[in-house]
Amino acid sequence: MSKLDQQLNTAAASIPECLAAGYVDIASGMLLGVKTVDSHPSEILDLVAAATADMFAGPNVSMIEKLFKKSRGVTNDNHHYFQEIIVNSDNLLHVFMRGKRYPDYVAVFVCRKSANLGMALTKARMAMPELEACF
């Protein structure tokens, strides 16, 4: 088991009602590691990785960031405005977090909807340094 897989297991165990944890390279749209309680077809996991890349670095998001930087007189650097995205679906809570050291990497945590959002966010944030240390 790789160090990333071990850290995903540790993170998933610490986050309330976490069903899955993954780490995505949004520059390539590749899923670098995943831990789930259920088995899922690789096609679904690949789509989750691609959708994560779209949410953080898709053409519309990139355009919004460029326009905000331009309107604020900020140089077009590598800083990104979208750092965390929370998605509530019918039965699940999805937490997406961009890395601080490696902003092209995003951690994805999927919890039951009954999970306490504040605690899930806190525990996910606490897990990020260890996940980033894998690279």
* Top-level class of domain 3-132: alpha beta
**What's the pLDDT score for residue 44?**
85
Using one digit for the tens of pLDDT, what is the confidence trace for 97-117? 999 999 999 999 999 999 999
Using one digit for the tens of pLDDT, what is the confidence trace for 12-26? 999 999 999 999 999
| pLDDT of residue 1 exceeding 80 | no
| Rounded CA separation 102/123 (Å) | 19
Contacts for 45 with CB less than 8 Å, ≥ 6 apart: 22, 31, 34
Distances, alpha carbon 134 to alpha carbons 6, 37, 60, 96, in Å:
10, 22, 30, 18
**Residue 134: exposure state from Cβ atoms within 10 A (0-12, 13-18, ≥19):** middle
Phi-psi region of 73 (alpha: psi -120 to 50; beta: other; left: phi over 0): left
Is the entire prediction scored with pTM above 0.85? Answer: yes
For residues 76 and 20, the model is more confident at: 20
Residue whose token pair is 């965390």: 84
Using one digit for the tens of pLDDT, what is the confidence trace for 46-65? 899 999 999 999 999 989 98
DSSP tag of 40: -
The residue ranges of every structural domain in the chain are: 3-132
